[in-house]
């Protein structure tokens, strides 16, 4: 593969990253070609020594997704990290998807339960004394506060568990890259 083919495939694989980041990465790889040619090696030899540009692009995108999760900690960054780790290899899809789908379903259900509890608690607190005739007002108000505090508790614990699982996924992705890198290079 020629220098131009290698760089085109690398740039295509990096699509979606910031243009400045792509330019910096491409400049690094251009530097490898220049150093190789200065040492008397052909473009084909340098490209062969560098390896598969698509694999490099997948690893760079995965690392970018993991770093984004570590800095932003939002749902978009979480999804990016999940897909970046899954993009490292087809085997991971077979291993991780059956594990991640039920966990994600349970977490989504818990967030939904927290939302329902907060709405029910707010309605009980605000309108309960007017709807439930004959019951002690203090009991109705405390029931509403109890439901809302339960919602906050469920939502907080679910958020902490979600962050912990995302950190575990990031750890798995980095471990995956470290373990597979020697095998892919040889």
Q: CA 109 to CA 102: how far, in whole Å? A: 10
Q: CA 44 to CA 142: how far, in whole Å? A: 75
Q: CA 124 to CA 121: how far, in whole Å? A: 5
CB 155 within 8 A of CB 114: yes
Q: Are residues 7 and 83 in the same domain?
A: no
Q: Are residues 105 and 161 in the same domain?
A: yes
64, part of any domain: no
Q: Are residues 92 and 160 in the same domain?
A: yes
Q: Are residues 112 and 176 in the same domain?
A: yes
59, part of any domain: no
Total domains in the fold of the chain: 2
Q: What is the pLDDT of residue 181?
A: 55
Q: Are residues 76 and 33 in the same domain?
A: no
Q: What is the pLDDT of residue 184?
A: 46
CB 2 within 8 A of CB 45: no
Contacts of 51 (CB under 8 A, 6+ apart): 184, 185
Q: CA 106 to CA 109: how far, in whole Å? A: 5
Nearest to 164 by CA among 36, 53, 42, 73: 73
66, part of any domain: no
Per-residue pLDDT of the chain (186 residues; tens, 9 = 90+): 888 888 899 888 888 788 898 888 889 888 888 888 888 888 888 888 888 888 788 778 777 777 777 777 777 777 777 776 666 655 566 677 788 889 999 999 999 999 999 999 999 999 988 888 788 999 999 999 999 999 999 999 999 999 998 888 877 777 766 655 554 454
Domain range for 32 is 1-51
Contacts of 21 (CB under 8 A, 6+ apart): 14, 64
Q: What is the pLDDT of residue 168?
A: 84
Whole-model pTM: value is 0.54
Q: What is the pLDDT of residue 118?
A: 96
Check residue 51 and give left, alpha or beta (phi > 0: left; psi -120 to 50: alpha).
left
């Amino acid at each position: 593969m020629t220098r131009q083919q290698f760089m085109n495939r690398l740039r295509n694989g990096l699509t979606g990253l910031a243009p400045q980041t792509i330019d910096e990465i491409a400049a690094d790889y251009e530097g490898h070609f220049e150093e190789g040619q200065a040492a008397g090696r052909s473009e084909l030899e340098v490209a062969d020594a560098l390896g598969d540009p698509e694999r490099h692009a997948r690893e760079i995108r995965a690392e970018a997704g993991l770093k984004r999760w570590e800095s932003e900690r939002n749902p978009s960054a979480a999804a990016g990290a999940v897909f970046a780790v899954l993009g490292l290899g087809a085997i991971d899809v077979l291993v991780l998807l059956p594990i991640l789908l039920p966990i994600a379903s349970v977490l989504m259900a818990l967030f939904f339960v927290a939302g329902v509890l907060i709405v029910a608690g707010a309605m009980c607190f605000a309108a309960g004394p007017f709807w439930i005739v004959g019951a002690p007002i203090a009991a109705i108000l405390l029931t509403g506060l109890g439901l809302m505090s339960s919602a906050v508790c469920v939502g907080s614990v679910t958020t902490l568990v979600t962050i912990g699982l995302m950190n575990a996924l990031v750890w798995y992705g980095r471990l995956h890259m470290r373990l597979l890198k020697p095998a892919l290079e040889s």
